[in-house]
Amino acid sequence: MPMNSLDALFEDTLRDMYYAEKKLTKILPKMAKKATSEELTEAFTSHAEETQGQVQRIEQVFDMLDKTPRAKKCEALEGLSAEGDHVMEEAEDDGVMDAGLIASAQAVEHYEIARYGALIAWAKQLDMSDAADLLAESLEEEKAADEKLNGLAETVNPMAARQEAA
């Protein structure tokens, strides 16, 4: 669709994130299954549950715009997801698998943080403070997920490093 206004850009990006969050409700449980550390499985599982709430928040924002929620393929998430699949297929050591999964997940969190940051700034600019507040709740969850993964990497990386290079 032609984007000749900030409203149109906001809606286009909201549709992109709707696609990404919906897809992540399916990707995160797969990552939880592949993770070998119990804490990492738990982190992915709880973020998968949060992500369902994030999908609902985006639907609420579409509602505020009087628009039907429609997803638009997010090429960035497709690419990040393909990179994550590669790690899940190729990693043979438990520590290496977990270190790779954490890095893949953090790439996604950083993408989400960037997108929500822009959407919140645009919502404020467009005098949609209710939408900005809702999206800010999701942004805080993404930041917390990223921080939790930072902490888990501190125990996982030394385990991955113990594995001899083959």
Per CB under 5 A, contacts with Fe ion among 132-161 are 142
Output the smallest distance, CB 163 to Fe ion, in A. 28
Give the Cβ contact number of residue 129 at 10 Å: 11
Output the smallest distance, CB 118 to Fe ion, in A. 11
Which one of residues 34, 40, 44, 54 is an interface residue with Fe ion (CB under 5 A)? 54
Residue 11 contact partner, candidates Zn ion, Fe ion, none, CB within 5 to 8 A by sort of partner = none
Per CB under 5 A, contacts with Zn ion among 11-30 are 12
The DSSP secondary structure of the chain, one letter per residue, reads: ----SHHHHHHHHHHHHHHHHHHHHHHHHHHHHH--SHHHHHHHHHHHHHHHHHHHHHHHHHHHTT--------HHHHHHHHHHHHHHHH--SHHHHHHHHHHHHHHHHHHHHHHHHHHHHHHHHTT-HHHHHHHHHHHHHHHHHHHHHHHHHHHHHHHHHHSPP-
Size of the site for Zn ion (CB under 5 A): 1
Using the minimum distance from each CB to Zn ion, give the nearer residue, 7 or 12.
12
Window contacting Fe ion (CB under 5 A); options: 11-19, 33-41, 60-68, 88-96: 11-19
**Residue type at position 60:** Q
Window contacting Zn ion (CB under 5 A); options: 9-17, 34-42, 95-103, 134-142: 9-17
Interface with Fe ion (CB under 5 A): 16, 21, 51, 54, 74, 76, 109, 112, 142
